Amino acid sequence: MAVFEKISRLFGTDGVRGKPPRYPLDKKTLNHLGYWAGKILLKHYAQRFPTVLLGSDTRSTAHFLKQEFSRGLRGLPGLKIIDAGIIPTAAVSYLVKEKKFLFGVVISASHNPAEENGIKLISPNGQKLPEKIEREIEKNIGRPVPELQFCEPPVFAGKNFASQYRDFLLSTVERDIGWEKLSLILDAANGAAFQLGREIFQNLGVNLSVVNDKPDGKNINKNCGALCPENLSTRCRRRKSYGLTLDGDADRAIILDEQGKIYDGDYLLYLAANYLKKHRQLVKNTVVTTIMANGGFLAAMKKAKIRVWTTAVGDRWVAEGLKKTGAILGGEQSGHIIFRRFLPTGDGLLTALQIFQIILKEKSSLARLTRKMKKYPQKIFNIRVKKKIPIEEIPVLKKEIARIEKSLKDRGRLVVRYSGTENLLRIMVEAKNVAMLDEIGRRLAVIAERELNI
């Protein structure tokens, strides 16, 4: 199916993204974004402490974004700004909710390349801002703001807040289940968890090795982390160790077993759902996932008699689905998993702790605990585009999508959608006949490249 969605002017599915100092991450837009975000959130959440918490990943442009966004906030008298330093997105989510701050700001482009960056706004409940409020902020960008000259730097409290988040994560698992028996290679993606990840697993006594934990501002996500888990496969096989790969802001996790096999979010969600159901902890007997979930996962959930609620792509929509259904577990194939009992947003470190705890408590292995889930052949084609023209406005592409869907019938699935964080058209093809994957994907890719890159 083609996902027909409104192409946002400023906010995407995960905040504002771009290449600083170009629009929308230029100085003026950042100033306005900071001012209007602060003003509008003060109106909506007047009962909260007038304090904004900022955090960032390891990109070299983080200081520029933090400074110019803060300059906008300084146009609002009485607003206090605290800088948590380099810290995962989920840490800001936890701290904003725990400390009753007005809102949180994460300077990160998550899994995107180092030259890109972004602004994520976190609401008082620890989730992404409601779309309605994002639109309200967006409509005000460009309107007159006070003269913004002096910018006093935020109060730095990095180590204190990072340690509070670390202690929270450690409180979510049991200690005496044999963590010392776990051998693990952690790929920190030269990102936000390059220190915290090491601290957490060392605290538990895990036999730990860490790679890609030397950020230089330009190497975040570069041929490492959750986008390249295959790079860890050989090391896992040689050391007979599990592998954990995070992304730049550590909100997603992809895990490898001792044989180097890669387990994405579908597998992790399957494992967690079955464990919680077995122990009568799967609230509403429901799991929330997205339209990109593999057909094999859906079939396995049906066989396990677990209900599946499907949403649009993006952990914000998974979070909304959890709220609507009252369920406590949801996630995406990409590795964003939400354990709502602990946090209302995806967290790669929390996900890893919960998954490894299950493995240790069950005295089993990742392979064995997921053996009943058989993935269907699936392939995703990413086509870089100059402009995100709505798919329904491209007749030749829309017609070809309809033709392919009709030919597939019950033999497969097709999802065509724009990325909410990059200038990419994503084509997901799933079919029982492997040969069909490349044929369909390449045919659509040729049309998309021709029509969208004129």
Catalytic residues: 110
Contact 143, 93 (CB under 8 A): no
φ, ψ for residue 206, nearest 5 deg = -70, 140
- Helix/strand/coil (H, E, C) string of 51-85? EEEEEECCCCCHHHHHHHHHHHHCCCCCCEEEEEE
* Residues 6 or more apart in contact with residue 28 via CB below 8 angstroms: none
End-to-end CA distance of the chain: 24
Q: Are 385 and 452 in contact (CB under 8 A)?
A: yes
The angle that helices 348-361 and 89-99 make with each other, rounded to 10 degrees, is 90
Torsional sign, CA 421, 340, 334, 382 = negative
- Quote the tokens at residue 12: 């995407």
Instruction: Classify each residue of 371-383 as buried b or exposed e, where b means 16 or more C-beta atoms within 10 Å of its C-beta.
Output: eebebbbbeebeb
What gap in Å lies between CA 304 and CA 251, rounded to an integer? 28
Other C-beta atoms lying within 10 Å of the C-beta of residue 117: 28
Contact in structure between 450 and 400 (CB atoms under 8 Å): no
Query: In terms of C-beta distances under 8 Å and separation of at least 24 residues, what long-range contacts does 401-408 make, across chains too?
Result: 401/1, 401/2, 401/444, 404/440, 404/443, 404/444, 405/1, 408/436
Helix axes of 131-140 and 27-44: crossing angle, nearest 10 degrees: 130
d(CA 69, CA 91): 20
Helices (H), 87-193: 89-99, 131-140, 158-170
